[in-house]
Amino acid sequence: MRKGAEMNKPLQPLPEGSPYIPRWAEVFRIERLTENEKLFEMRLMSGEPLCQKPGQFVELSLMGIGEAPISISSAPRDNNSFELAVRRAGNLTTAVHNLKIGDKVGIRGPFGKHFPIEAAKRKNILFVAGGIGLVPLRSFIHFVLEHRSEYGEVTILFGARNPSERLFLNELEQWRLRKDIKYLDTVDRADSNWKGNVGVITTLFPKIDIDPRKTFCITVGPPVMYRFVILEAKALGIPDRQIFLSLERRMKCGLGKCGHCQIHHLYVCQDGPVFTYEEISELEEAL
């Protein structure tokens, strides 16, 4: 076939269920979490469940504005609803913050490798969340609490820059009051009302007691946090293969096509975003 004829060949329609085609979802609940974060509960208009696992993400799109990867913040559900927590940071996320009940968005996915929900069963879990890193971790935390008898001891450490940036305040208090988990939190800078721990999240590690052989450390947060949390986890004796982290900040298209998330041989959106430290410890660009 001549080149000109090939260029004029009509495009074939994408098959139904293609990962390139967004599904429509409707916003039916909005909750303000902080000055810059909102929680959106959505329903797929097809009526089918999203079928995600904790740690996965979707591509959220607004027609005429753009698309971005957003972590799923709710545990898997049997119905067609799911939750996304969105930080206002640019044109797209500002437009998302302006959505109203009943507005429609496009959803592709879910994509990516999830947290070790099966491998962690009958093991102890240490969750370490920094700032908005609590959003993807919340999905796994909710899953574990919904299946509490299938997991061992659960410890949750949460750190924020200041009290006003703490997310999901009602849930944090519920976790603090539960007898079957240990919850500790801290802020980098206190205000006049803060009575808790002050300092970076690693200042909470001396307050916990774990069995490193039986513990999975699951951490999500800003890049600067990872190096120090990993050092603390290794100092406790947790093996590299039992330290899990998410590199979601590097993603763009979700399908490994744009190359934005490539780190040597890895595509974060497909090979991750969840990795063990063992998998990426030799890749300096990863952290």
Q: Quick one: CATH architecture of 23-110?
A: Beta Barrel (2.40)
Render each residue's pLDDT in the chain as its tens digit; 287 residues. Answer: 444 555 566 666 666 678 989 999 999 999 999 999 999 999 999 999 999 999 999 999 999 999 999 999 999 999 999 999 999 999 999 999 999 999 999 999 999 999 999 999 999 999 999 999 999 999 999 999 999 999 999 999 999 999 999 999 999 999 999 999 999 999 999 998 999 999 999 999 999 999 999 999 999 999 899 999 999 999 999 999 999 999 876 688 998 888 888 888 888 889 989 999 999 988 776 67
pLDDT for the residue numbered 1: 46
Across the beta sheet with 274-276, what order do the strands follow? 197-198, 182-187, 154-160, 124-130, 215-220, 243-246, 274-276
Please give the full DSSP string across the chain, using - where no structure is assigned: --HHHHHTSPPPPPPTT-TTSPEEEEEEEEEE-SSSEEEEEEEETT-------TT-EEEEEETTTEEEEEEB-SPP-SSSEEEEEEE--SHHHHHHHT--TT-EEEEEEEESBPP-TTTTTTSEEEEEEEGGGHHHHHHHHHHHHHTGGGS--EEEEEEESSGGG---HHHHHHHHH-SSSEEEEEESS--TT--SEES-GGGGGGG----GGGEEEEEE--HHHHHHHHHHHHHTT--GGGEEEE-GGG-SSSSS-S-TTEETTEEHHHH-BEEEHHHHTT-GGG-
pLDDT for the residue numbered 61: 97
pLDDT for the residue numbered 76: 95
Domains 23-110 and 124-246 share a fold: no
Which CATH number is 124-246 given? 3.40.50.80
Map out the domains of the chain as residue ranges: 23-110, 124-246
